Structure 1
Amino acid sequence: MSDEYDENDLKRRMDGAIESLRKEFAGLRTGRASAGLLEPIKVDAYGTPTPINQLGNISVPEPRMITLQVWDKNMVAAVDKAIRNSGIGLNPVMEGQLLRIPIPPLNEERRAEIAKLAGNYAEHARVAVRNVRRDGMDALKKMEKDGDLSEDEQKAFSEDVQKLTNEAIKRIDENLKSKQEEIMQV
């Protein structure tokens, strides 16, 4: 069998799509404090957009509170501004170099919006998995056409690819379901 079809590579790429989905889900606000909530925020530090977690220690001392201990006191105002302008609806309270970020409870309408956004993220992940499936199927068809695989082998491998795809989509749906339940919790 040639290098064109690699089941492990397909699985790795599908797992990558699921991992990417998990990271996107971590950035969704659920009404509970999570350090992942601040991860997508970039701060203009020293002329360079810098991830917020590279400018201080993020911790979650309470279920509805995130604290950010900024290392450089000259950056506190910039970090505060970046959080306020991030569009996630958080308003930090400055206490010296410590930013306390209370997580306000979400109203029902906002919960529904976030749940819908989670659904969009999941759909993007499904599309990515299907694209990987298509690549695998195309490689198998090409190998059959080139005479590297018999028709029966191609069918067997196609079933394996489909099985991988079904498993990946099932995992995406499970992640989505649990995230939506978490979002809708009051």
Structure 2
Amino acid sequence: MINEIQNDAQARMAKSIDALRHTLVKVRTGRASTALVEHIKVNYYGSDVPLSQVASVAVTDARSLTISPWEKQIVGAVEKAILGSDLGLTPNTSGTVIRLNLPALTEERRKELSKVVHGEGEDTKVAIRNIRRDANHQVKELLKDKQITEDEASRSETEIQKLTDTAIRGVDEVVKAKEQELMAV
């Protein structure tokens, strides 16, 4: 029982770190990446679909993306979706090809994005601590129901704390790597 609780907690903590990585991919750095536009939804015949399902996205150089919709009549909808997104970029259209030029980040904008990255890291740490709390609660329930001894409960809580510390270090590493990527000119 205790091993199941610890394994579940460890898996959930790892998922939290993966979710953080996925979230931080959307934070714009100085380089162009197709991940910047993955979350954009395009209105395609009345339903919102991901941009990748209606167009091909390619990185042409370090500061620009090229979006080629598969159907000519959807170019306007793709432009509208990009303008309505939180990217703050203006699409340049020539025929059926849409270009997104990413301006260089100012020092002020880099600091703002760094704060966003730190905030996401803190949110992930809170989620990890909640997982620890849930796991410790399950161990206490087992102790209360007399399915485990006090020594086993104490050892289990120590192990869960070690898992938590490891996960928090993982979050710090992910945040630090993203911040270095942001600050690189």
- What's the secondary structure of 1:179's corresponding residue? helix
Alignment correspondent of 2:76: 77
Alignment correspondent of 1:89: 88
For residues 51 and 169 of structure 2, the distance between their equivalents in structure 1, rounded to whole angstroms, comes to 33
For residues 29 and 42 of structure 1, the distance between their equivalents in structure 2, rounded to whole angstroms, comes to 18
For residues 53 and 90 of structure 1, the distance between their equivalents in structure 2, rounded to whole angstroms, comes to 18
Cα RMSD of the aligned pairs, angstroms, is 1.4
CA contact (8 A) 2:2 2:156 kept: no
Alignment correspondent of 1:158: 157
Alignment correspondent of 1:168: 167
* Unaligned ranges ≥5, structure 1: none
Task: After the TM superposition, list the runs of 4 or more consecutive aligned residues in structure 1 that deviate by more than 2 angstroms.
Answer: none
* Unaligned ranges ≥5, structure 2: none
Residues 67-126 of structure 1, C-alpha deviation per residue, up to 9 Å, x if partnerless?
111112111111111112213121221122221111110111111111101111111111
The Cα shift of 1:52 comes to 1.2
CA contact (8 A) 2:2 2:139 kept: no
Q: How does 1:33-182 map to 2 (within 5 A)?
A: 33-182=32-181
Q: Give the TM-score normalised by the residue count of structure 1.
A: 0.94
Identical pairs, percent: 41
For residues 164 and 58 of structure 2, the distance between their equivalents in structure 1, rounded to whole angstroms, comes to 37
Give 1:62's aligned amino acid: D
Give 2:94's aligned amino acid: E
